[in-house]
Structure 1
């Protein structure tokens, strides 16, 4: 498995091709390409760029060969201060609800301290996977133009491209007892349900 230097490449590939290929297919191709490129490279400064280009070309060819086409998935970006609690809850609950039918991201203005362990515990109680979650900051290559940008606990609207900006009045789980974090997760889920209905994903099943 590659280091985190390829994390953004991986996200980009899932964003662009997740509607055509299983996540495992994309990951296996990317990991194989990374391993081959790193074994051959004498200078690895630009490997993420060259790897992304090579994998993209392969996936494009495979998609065209199968005659696959379709409307791009709606994209939702969840933003909070540290990307430790609310935005992680929202992104994980959304992804669990609709799978790859919506492309979901979460970022923080100041992502420090790791993901709140109580948040991870509550998600796991609900049978929601957490192994893929990690804190992310807002940098140009991690923020694509989203259909909806959801701000939680952020006063100023950051320079994030989006067709629509929403503010969710969600309590911060930081330092809260586990019972309160569960209530916050319920509140997040209610907001997620409403958003998915608006996005035409009304078959959400709790």
Structure 2
């Protein structure tokens, strides 16, 4: 049976991104696989998006993260850098704060992802501001849906309010951080939530292998 044709990209500007990702994963994934995943990433982000100005760029970043996770799953899970996934309902506040702070504090010791079971259209207004104050990079602070390959690639899954909606994968370490939701909170409260999460990250880093 002949292979099915690749899907038509929803935005012609994605073609360049598909080519870049295909080159990065030469010998690992077929270009058609890369294109399908990039198309799916674009459509998943576009559904709740309130602003689509940078959607093409974000879709490529999201697809790159998913491809890296898939490569890890199909290669040797449990080897290499510890992989930590933060999950909350909307991926607009707590999980964004936690992911950016851990990436900043870990300085390359950990592969970090975040996702939402019902992602919002945009990140909470004060999240980027308090992360910048802490010296963290906010380039990847945009809501992303929870996908199977990212969950399966994680060594540690930390839930932050999504409860039973988070899928359970055997052999993973699961933690729950009962952190207040910054949705609609004034910046002073968001700073306090950031500091609470940062304290928890200190303990998490201490528990990881050197």
Q: Under a length normalisation based on structure 2, what TM-score does the superposition of the two structures give?
A: 0.63
- Map 1:1-206; keep pairs closer than 5 Å: 3=14, 30=20, 33=23, 46-48=33-35, 71-156=79-164, 158-161=166-169, 163-201=172-210
Shift in CA distance, 82/5, structure 1 to aligned 2, threshold 3 Å: farther
Describe the SS at the equivalent of 1:136.
coil
RMSD: 3.3
**Structure 2: unaligned runs, 5 residues or longer:** 1-12, 25-30, 39-63, 69-78
Describe the SS at the equivalent of 2:162.
coil
Contact 2:83 2:112 (8 Å CA) reproduced: yes
| Cα distance in structure 1, aligned partners of 2:159 and 2:16 | 27
Shift in CA distance, 178/85, structure 1 to aligned 2, threshold 3 Å: same
| Cα distance in structure 1, aligned partners of 2:87 and 2:146 | 9
**Structure 1: unaligned runs, 5 residues or longer:** 10-28, 35-43, 57-70, 202-206
- CA shift, 1:101, in A, is 1.3
Deviations 1:34-91 (A, max 9, x none): 8xxxxxxxxx864537999xx99xxxxxxxxxxxxxx511111100000000000000
- CA shift, 1:160, in A, is 4.3
Q: Which runs of 4+ in 1 moved over 6 A?
A: 49-52
| Cα distance in structure 1, aligned partners of 2:37 and 2:121 | 32
2:47 counterpart residue number: none
Contact 1:80 1:87 (8 Å CA) reproduced: yes
1:12 counterpart residue number: none
| Cα distance in structure 2, aligned partners of 1:47 and 1:148 | 26
Deviations 1:155-189 (A, max 9, x none): 21521436111010111111110000000000000
Describe the SS at the equivalent of 1:173.
coil
2:52 counterpart residue number: none
Contact 2:99 2:112 (8 Å CA) reproduced: yes
| Cα distance in structure 1, aligned partners of 2:206 and 2:15 | 34
